[in-house]
């Protein structure tokens, strides 16, 4: 639900519509890299103009032209509709004190934010990780919505006010709904996001902490690369989005220890520590469990829960795991 001035705009869709976190991880990578972030900002600014811009223009020069473009859009809409325009001004806590055109613009922008947020989260991006706008939970929504305001919300707001001020907010929202549908805005948003983020260097990934050998990848099977994200040194192949994993074993054959040391460190006898993906972690655990002959093993790994980790146990261990309403504890004999 997106709210503006006591009025509501429904935003259907949530992050569960996306099948993977690949887009979110790429967005986070671009946001956290100052060079790439600036390139995305430049790309967003250029996309707001119908005509190509000189490649030599600086970001400040592009922003200056963008300010002129928006001011001209307001002035043009005012001339075409006869609605007086004295500037953008409103306060959320004093909604009714704003003049009709400013209330209409805010209502139209809320509708635009709603459809943009629906597209963003459904495609697996974060509404909060903005490039031009920062520090807000909808920063990326504002970034993307700015691509369409001149063509959608400004004309709708001025034309609606020109027709009268009765039920202004409701009429603006219905007018936005109709123009969004007629011009198929929703189908344009995700491709435009891809264009914004398709900057030089966007596909580069930093390598993981550990780089497994090809022999060990073969021992894990052909699917061990599936779902990976980072690139190996030199840009060849793909690796894993890794997380902390600890495997402890008791009374196991030397072959099991040798298999684990191909991937993980053994700082203490029977204790193996490494940084691997969920798929590799599960494959390793399967190998440990399948190789135990009277021994025992425990797996501890990072998890999205209140404790921040989860545990698994297999075999004849001297201790056991007790689940107390979702809280995992160790039970001693």
Mean pLDDT in residue range 150-167:
94
Q: What is the largest CA-CA distance in the chain?
A: 87
User: Which pLDDT score, from 0 to 100, does residue 242 have?
Assistant: 65
CA pair distance 89, 102, nearest whole angstrom: 6
Mean pLDDT in residue range 23-47:
89
Question: Which H helix or E strand runs over 299?
Answer: strand 296-302
User: Which pLDDT score, from 0 to 100, does residue 3 have?
Assistant: 44
User: Which pLDDT score, from 0 to 100, does residue 325 have?
Assistant: 66
Q: Is 0.85 topped by the overall pTM?
A: no
User: 265: phi > 0 → left, psi -120 to 50 → alpha, else beta; which?
Assistant: beta
Q: Comparing 52 with 35, which gets the higher pLDDT?
A: 35
CB-CB contact of 131 with 40 (8 Å): yes
Q: For every residue of 238-291, which 3-state class applies, written as one string? A: ECCCCEEEEEEEECCCHHHHHHHHCCCEEEECCEEEEEECHHHHHHHHHHHHHH
Work out the mean pLDDT of the chain and round it to a whole number: 79
Per residue in 86-103, pLDDT tens?
988 877 778 788 889 999
pLDDT exceeds cutoff 50 at 285: yes
Name which of 67, 34, 35 is nearest 48 in CA terms: 67
Per residue in 99-120, pLDDT tens?
899 999 999 999 999 999 999 9
CB neighbours of residue 326 within 10 Å: 8
232 — pLDDT class (breaks 50, 70, 90): very low
Q: Which residues pair with 310 in a beta bridge?
A: 301
The domains found in the chain, sorted by start residue, are: 2-197 (1.20.120.920), 214-331 (3.30.70.240)
As given in the structure block, the two tokens for residue 327 are 């809280």
Question: Which H helix or E strand runs over 297?
Answer: strand 296-302
CA pair distance 231, 204, nearest whole angstrom: 7
User: Which pLDDT score, from 0 to 100, does residue 19 have?
Assistant: 58
CB-CB contact of 43 with 196 (8 Å): yes
Question: Which H helix or E strand runs over 9?
Answer: strand 7-9
pLDDT exceeds cutoff 70 at 85: yes
User: Which pLDDT score, from 0 to 100, does residue 326 have?
Assistant: 66
Q: Comparing 297 with 18, which gets the higher pLDDT?
A: 297
């Amino acid at each position: 639900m997106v709210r503006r001035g006591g009025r509501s705009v429904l935003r259907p869709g949530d992050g569960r519509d996306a099948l993977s976190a690949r887009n979110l991880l790429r967005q986070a990578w671009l946001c956290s890299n100052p060079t790439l972030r600036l390139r995305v900002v430049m790309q967003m600014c250029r996309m707001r103009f119908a005509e190509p811009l000189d490649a030599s223009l600086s970001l400040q020069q592009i922003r200056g032209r963008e300010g002129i473009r928006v001011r001209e859009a307001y002035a043009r809409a005012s001339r075409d509709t006869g609605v007086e325009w004295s500037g953008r001004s409103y306060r959320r806590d004093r909604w009714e004190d704003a003049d009709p055109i400013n209330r209409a613009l805010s209502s139209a922008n809320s509708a635009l934010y709603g459809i943009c947020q629906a597209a963003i989260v459904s495609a697996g991006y974060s509404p909060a990780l903005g490039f031009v706008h920062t520090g807000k939970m909808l920063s990326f929504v504002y970034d993307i919505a700015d691509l369409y305001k001149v063509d959608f919300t400004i004309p709708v707001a001025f034309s609606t006010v020109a027709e009268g001020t009765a039920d202004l907010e409701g009429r603006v929202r219905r007018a936005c709904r109709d123009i969004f549908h007629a011009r198929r805005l929703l189908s344009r948003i995700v491709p435009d996001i891809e264009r914004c983020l398709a900057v030089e260097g966007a596909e580069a990934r930093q390598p993981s902490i550990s780089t497994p050998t090809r022999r060990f990848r073969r021992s894990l099977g052909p699917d061990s690369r599936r779902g990976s994200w980072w690139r190996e040194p030199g840009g060849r192949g793909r690796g894993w989005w890794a997380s902390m994993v600890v495997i402890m074993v008791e009374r196991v054959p030397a072959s099991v220890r040798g298999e684990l040391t191909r991937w993980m460190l053994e700082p203490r006898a029977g204790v193996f520590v490494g940084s691997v993906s969920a798929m590799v972690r599960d494959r390793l655990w399967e190998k440990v469990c399948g190789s135990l002959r009277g021994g025992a093993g425990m797996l501890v790994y990072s998890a999205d829960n209140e404790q921040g980790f989860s545990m698994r146990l297999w075999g004849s261990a001297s201790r056991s795991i007790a689940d107390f309403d979702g809280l995992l504890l160790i039970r001693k004999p």
